[in-house]
């Protein structure tokens, strides 16, 4: 049975190993470059040299990091389409199941060996690439990326493992149910892509209940936002126009609130343009200190940075559980399939 699996999967294994080796070498070279640039030019930099070095750093490595990240998002889909969907469908389509299921090995045993071996191989491939990318891109993510951003979260650490196994078993199940390779491949791709879009946008934010806390408005928090003031949706700029913080980022955290955060006074009423005028001298530094002294705050809904690994494990567990459930469906359905 091991021999059969190896014989039927030999070409895929060899091609994958070759591609994996090439990509690993590329990642190691890029990773060394990224770490070297970071250690020599960004760690311990001072003044304008710091922000300028970051511009060069971003220009040089943004494209490779994004590209490999996108590839790591695509690999589970490829595994599901090319390894999962044809696994049973192709036997059924070409009629070879009549030969293979009439040997001394039972159908369930046959399926168990095939599923386990290829799932483990998928885990190994995705795990190695994810490990290398997470290491290589680590300084880059630290400076420019949010670890919770959809593309980053799904292509680093343990999350890709769950996706890979899920995609593989999903493809196998659809192949078993539809019994034809090409439609099964197309359907696997459609479902998996939908899952990949729905997960970060609709499901992940609600995996744990976000924290809503009021943050004090300080000079530092104004500088961390992209803007302070009002936009034309808030009013015409007259005295009663409420002021907001725009594009506020909290280091390492996943901010769920929208890009506009209304500023509130200590009693909870809106901080308006009229209140703001007193602080507006034209010198940003002095203005920020003046604003900070007014004891203002804003409400922020977010997931703190400390939850990153919890989220990674929850998501991996969800996809492994889904994969197990689908595998259970396969084991139930296979003995009842007409040969």
Least distance from C-beta 321 to another protein, angstroms? 27
Residue nearer to another protein on the CB measure, 195 or 316: 195
Minimum Å distance from CB 13 to another protein? 13
Coil, helix or strand for 242? Answer: strand
Q: Please state the closest distance from residue 334 (CB atom) to another protein, in A.
A: 21
User: 300: helix, coil or strand?
Assistant: strand
Q: How far is the CB of 109 from another protein (least distance, A)?
A: 25
Tokens of 25: 């070498």
Nearer to another protein, 186 or 320 (CB): 186
The residue (of 179 and 316) whose beta carbon lies closer to another protein is: 179
Residues in the chain: 339
Cβ nearer to another protein, comparing 66 with 112:
66
What would the two tokens of residue 130 be?
Answer: 């994810």
Q: Which residue matches tokens 């959809």?
A: 150
Q: Nearest distance from residue 75's CB to another protein, in Å? A: 12
End-to-end CA distance of the chain: 19
The nearer residue to another protein, 78 or 207, going by C-beta atoms, is 78
Smallest distance from another protein to CB 48, Å = 3
In the complex, the smallest distance separating the C-beta of residue 59 from another protein, rounded to whole angstroms, is 5
CB burial string 20-42: b at 16+ within 10 A, e below: beebeeebeebbeebeebbeebb
What is the 8-class DSSP label of residue 264? B
At residue 261, what are phi and psi to the nearest 5 degrees?
Answer: -115, 110
Q: Which of 26, 191, 171 is nearest to 90 (CA)?
A: 171
Tokens of 92: 């059924």
Q: What are phi and psi of 310, to 5 degrees?
A: -60, -45
Residues pairing with 214 in the sheet: 299
**Closer by beta carbon to another protein, 15 or else 325:** 15
Closest distance to another protein from the beta carbon of 171 (Å): 12
**β strands within the chain, DSSP E:** 211-216, 227-229, 244-246, 254-255, 260-262, 297-303
Chain CA centroid to CA 174, Å: 25
Nearer residue to another protein within complex by CB, 40 or 212: 40
Please identify, using beta-carbon distances, which residue of 237 and 328 lies nearer to another protein: 237
- The nearest distance, CB 34 to another protein, in angstroms, is 14
DSSP 195-238: HHHHIIIIIGGGSSPPEEEEEE--HHHHHHSSEEE--TTT-SSS
Q: Of the two residues 121 and 316, which places its CB atom closer to another protein in the complex?
A: 121
The Cα–Cα gap between 52 and 123 comes to 40
For another protein, the binding residues (CB under 8 A) are 15, 40-41, 45-49, 51-53, 55-56, 59, 63, 67, 78, 82, 86, 90, 150, 181-183, 185-186, 189, 197, 226-233, 237, 244, 246-247, 258-260
36 with 140: CB under 8 angstroms?
A: no
């Amino acid at each position: 049975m091991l021999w059969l699996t190896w014989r039927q999967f030999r070409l895929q294994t060899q091609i994958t190993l070759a591609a994996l080796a090439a990509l690993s070498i590329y990642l190691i070279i890029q990773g060394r470059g990224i770490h070297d640039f970071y250690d020599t030019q960004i760690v311990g930099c001072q003044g304008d040299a710091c922000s300028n070095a970051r511009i060069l750093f971003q220009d040089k490595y943004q494209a490779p990091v994004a590209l490999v990240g996108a590839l790591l998002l695509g690999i589970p889909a490829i595994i599901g389409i090319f390894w999962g969907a044809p696994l049973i469908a192709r036997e059924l389509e070409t009629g070879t199941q009549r030969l293979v299921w009439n040997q001394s090995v039972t159908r369930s045993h046959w399926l168990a060996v095939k599923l386990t071996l290829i799932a483990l191989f998928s885990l190994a491939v995705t795990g190695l690439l994810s490990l290398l990318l997470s290491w290589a891109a680590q300084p880059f993510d630290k400076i420019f990326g949010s670890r919770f951003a959809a593309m980053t979260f799904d292509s680093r650490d343990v999350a890709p493992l769950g996706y890979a196994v899920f995609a593989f078993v999903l493809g196998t199940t659809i192949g078993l149910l539809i019994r034809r390779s090409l439609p099964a491949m197309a359907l696997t791709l459609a479902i998996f892509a939908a899952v990949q879009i729905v997960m970060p946008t609709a499901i992940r934010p609600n995996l744990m209940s976000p924290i809503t806390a009021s943050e004090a408005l300080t000079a530092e928090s104004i500088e961390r936002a992209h803007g302070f003031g009002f936009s034309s949706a808030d009013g015409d700029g007259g005295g009663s126009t409420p002021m907001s913080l725009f594009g506020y980022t909290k280091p390492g955290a996943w901010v769920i609130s929208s890009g506009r955060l209304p500023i509130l006074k200590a009693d909870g009423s809106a901080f308006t343009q009229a209140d703001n005028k007193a602080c507006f001298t034209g010198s940003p530094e002095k203005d920020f200190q003046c604003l900070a002294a007014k004891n203002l705050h804003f409400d922020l809904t977010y997931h703190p940075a400390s939850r990153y690994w919890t989220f990674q494990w929850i998501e991996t567990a969800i996809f492994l559980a889904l994969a197990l459930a689908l595998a259970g469906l396969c084991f139930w359905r296979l003995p009842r399939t007409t040969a």
